Amino acid sequence: MFKNQFFASPGQVDGEPRRKGRVYAAIEVPELDDGLQPYEAEPVYLECVDTSWFNSFEASENGALWSKLFQAAPLSVLELTSYKLPLFPEGSKPGDIAWFEFGYEPASSSESDARIYTNLLSEGATVKISFHEPRPIGWAERGIIGEAAQALAKYNSSSSSQYSLKKRLARISTAGGVAFYDVGQGACQAAIDNELHIPQLYVDFGGGVLTNKKTFPDGFAGFCFTRDPMVILSHWDWDHWSSAQRWPEALNTPWLTPPVPLKPIQLTFAAELHERGSLHIWDAAWPGTITAGAVTIERCTGRTANDSGLAVTLRRRRNSPKNCLLPGDADYACIPSVVAGESFNALCMTHHGGRLHSPTYPKAKRGAASVLSAGPRNSYRHPLFDTVATHLEHGWSLPTGTALSGQRPCHVLVPWGGRPHILQGGCHGGMCATAVSAIAPANGKITKFARRRGDAM
Ligand SMILES: [Zn+2]
Ligand SMILES: [Zn+2]
């Protein structure tokens, strides 16, 4: 089955090869309206593919499916640790993908100015950049990347998944509340039913990777798939889907996603889902908002990947006033229901408590709960003081964080209208860490074991 080396399980990877390389590197042009220099206070990561692989497709009729070709793409991530991100090409706008060519050589850590990772879960190796050269905006669309984009657009317009996914969403039981899983620096949430207390729908399926791999909890036994939960992906950043590479079973369930950014790693992951028939893209032909049963999904209205993805509101049941907003990493000003003044009982603070670029915040109902999903000691320093403080000013409570306890994983469950509980999760079989079970600490007040359907107990 489809498996790019970049996603091979860490057991199959023995350290980074020490070699020089030439890559085409892609990065999104961020919003600049907050007056800050882009990426100044944050690590810079670029999605790369070897130049030789990319160039081998130029002007050649290859005939093979794009999703098969990406299986062999030599992918990597280049982290600029002290090398300054070159200026974006003239005329670039937020949300555009900027491309550069980079050359690098192995270097000791004292001489290095960057790190290269050839696997999503590798520790990376120190390198020194030997040169960089910008490419004009739109450059990559002439090659294999553009071919993939065209194929995706064609595939999507012929797909009839909207109706069947809506039917599937309408059946989902959410009455047990919303679980926020401790996946380190990243996000993974689920709708929980009130009978078996297990995940019925995942909203994002991420976790800590690369520099932040160390924030992923040891001893996380796996995810519960007993009820065939589908996944809604808020946006394509790695920290929102990477757990599907740790537990590939997740690749076989339907994923409802925003359009795929034209960056090599995200395209390769999309190719993997596509090859398994699991990819369902919410493109411009879909409505801005869909409500099916207790699930409402909105298309965010911004320009960047964070701000133009899908925001999910879960309710206790269809038409219930009890609601929980899962914004992914979107700025609140880009979520139509927030802009329209809807108030919420529960909220996952957007973007892991990272930097926002608008003064819009969702309204909190009386007694509302807030949750934060970030990994301890992550490289972004999430959550940021200002972001948490501004939530408090807008009436939100101090958030309950995933990984709150040093005994990890430490998940959070917010029952409808109740206070957040912390719990460890797991089921009788010991195969998962995401069923809400009796091993929750006493304050969890959750005393019922999750069990498989049909289990006598
Ligand atoms: Zn993001
Ligand atoms: Zn994120």
Whether the Cβ atoms of residue 222 and residue 433 lie closer than 8 Å to each other? yes
Q: How far is the CA of 204 from the centre of ligand 2 (A)?
A: 10
Q: How far is the CA of 100 from the centre of ligand 1 (A)?
A: 21
Res 82 pLDDT > 70? yes
Q: How far is the CA of 234 from the centre of ligand 1 (A)?
A: 9
Looking at all shown ligands, the one closest to residue 185's CA atom is 2
pLDDT, tens digit, for every residue of 277-318? 999 999 998 999 999 999 999 999 999 999 999 999 999 999
pLDDT, tens digit, for every residue of 134-145? 998 888 888 899
Three-state secondary-structure class, residue 141: helix
What letter represents residue 36's amino acid? Answer: L
Q: How far is the CA of 177 from the centre of ligand 1 (A)?
A: 24
Instruction: For residues 175-186, give the mean pLDDT.
Output: 97
Instruction: For residues 63-91, give the mean pLDDT.
Output: 91
**Residue 44, number of CB atoms within 10 A of its CB:** 16
Q: How far is the CA of 227 from the centre of ligand 1 (A)?
A: 28
Looking at all shown ligands, the one closest to residue 28's CA atom is 1
What letter represents residue 435's amino acid? Answer: A
Largest distance between two CA atoms of the chain? 66
**What does the alpha-carbon distance between residue 328 and residue 233 come to, in Å, rounded to a whole number?**
8
**What does the alpha-carbon distance between residue 78 and residue 81 come to, in Å, rounded to a whole number?**
9
pLDDT, tens digit, for every residue of 362-373? 999 999 999 999
CATH superfamily of 161-444: Ribonuclease Z/Hydroxyacylglutathione hydrolase-like (3.60.15.10)
Listed by start position, the domains of the chain span 5-148, 161-444
Q: How far is the CA of 130 from the centre of ligand 2 (A)?
A: 31
Looking at all shown ligands, the one closest to residue 204's CA atom is 2
Q: How far is the CA of 454 from the centre of ligand 2 (A)?
A: 37
Which pLDDT band holds residue 38 (cuts at 50, 70, 90)? Answer: low
Res 21 pLDDT > 60? yes
Q: How far is the CA of 240 from the centre of ligand 2 (A)?
A: 6
Looking at all shown ligands, the one closest to residue 242's CA atom is 2
* Angle made by CA atoms 209, 214, 215, in degrees to the nearest 5: 85
**What does the alpha-carbon distance between residue 433 and residue 137 come to, in Å, rounded to a whole number?**
44
- What is the pLDDT at residue 446? 46
